[in-house]
Amino acid sequence: MHFFTTLSAATIVALAAAIPVADEPSNIPAPFDMELPAGLPTASDGAVVWYSGEASAKRSMEKRSDTKIEVWASTNKRGRHETLHSDFNKCYNLGNGWNDDIESVTVYATTGCVFYNKGNCNKDDSNGRRLTVSGTATTGTHVASLLDGGSGGLNNMVSSYLCFRI
């Protein structure tokens, strides 16, 4: 009888361990507001020129306040894939296994994103690396492989990102 009690208890523990736990979020908002980096692409609606993702009030009301980017764990849009929904001008830290595991990204039209090699969009490290990827006007998207080497390469190094409207 003692054997069956032990077996039953072991079975219950094994079943409880097999219950799926919700994954952590893939993009976690940083706990602060951040100035956009200087030198980002600019655009114009004919009357107002805006820089670094700051849109005119009219444009802000007409357009969405968020965007999406797609990330892959391998180059050329291969391997593990996820779509990350993000507010404009907000820094996000990567979670759910994406930190230092992105090799290619897609950024859509009228959107640019800055990818950083440190958490919190390099807020505490002015020497951190960053790479800006902007959607194109002709195809609407830009796919980038985050190549190794060079001063801009961030292959398997992205820890945070910030998207802005262009």
CA dist., res. 142 & res. 164, Å (int): 14
Taking only the tens place, the pLDDT of each residue in 43-64 is 544 443 334 334 433 444 445 6
The pLDDT value recorded for residue 140 is: 64
Neighbouring CB atoms inside 10 A of 119's CB total: 19
Checking if the pLDDT of 6 tops 90, the result is no
Taking only the tens place, the pLDDT of each residue in 69-104 is 999 999 888 999 999 999 999 999 999 999 999 998
Residues in the chain: 166
Taking only the tens place, the pLDDT of each residue in 95-135 is 999 999 999 898 988 889 999 999 999 887 777 888 888 88
CA dist., res. 54 & res. 145, Å (int): 27
User: Could you give the domains of the chain?
Assistant: 26-34+66-165 (2.60.20.10)
